[in-house]
Structure 1
Amino acid sequence: MTESGPWPTGLKLKKAERILEVSFDDGAHFRLPAELLRVESPSAEVQGHGPSQKKTVPGKANVAIVALEPVGNYAVRIVFGDGHDTGLYTWDTLYRLGRDSDKLWTDYLTALERQGLSRE
Structure 2
Amino acid sequence: MTRTPHPTDIVLHRASHTLEVAFDNGERFELPCEYLRTHSPSAEVQGHHPSQRVLVAGKRHVNIDAIEPVGNYGVLLRFDDGHATGIFAWGTLYALGRGYAKNWQAYLDALAASGLRREP
1:41 aligns with: 40
Q: Structure 1 residue 7: deviation in Å? A: 1.2
Tell whether the 8 Å contact from 1:63 to 1:80 is kept in structure 2 after alignment.
Answer: yes
2:21 aligns with: 22
State the Cα deviation string for residues 58-105 of structure 1 (Å, max 9, x = none). 000000111101111111000001000001000000000000000110
Any stretches of 5+ residues in structure 2 without a counterpart? none
1:58 aligns with: 57
Matched, 1:85 2:99: no
Runs of 4+ displaced beyond 4 Å: none
Looking at structure 2, the residues matched to 118 and 59 of structure 1 have their Cα atoms a distance apart, in angstroms, of 6
State the Cα deviation string for residues 14-45 of structure 1 (Å, max 9, x = none). 11111110011111100000000000000000
Secondary structure in 1 matching 2:15: helix
Q: CA RMSD in A?
A: 0.9
How many residues are treated as equivalent by the alignment?
A: 118
* Higher deviation after alignment, 3-12 or 90-99: 3-12
1:96 aligns with: 95
Identical-residue share of aligned pairs (%):
55
Looking at structure 2, the residues matched to 118 and 4 of structure 1 have their Cα atoms a distance apart, in angstroms, of 38
Any stretches of 5+ residues in structure 1 without a counterpart? none
Looking at structure 2, the residues matched to 42 and 119 of structure 1 have their Cα atoms a distance apart, in angstroms, of 19
Looking at structure 2, the residues matched to 11 and 31 of structure 1 have their Cα atoms a distance apart, in angstroms, of 10
TM-score (norm 1): 0.95
Give, as a single letter, the amino acid of the residue that structure 2 aligns with 1:49: H
1:13 aligns with: 12
1:114 aligns with: 113
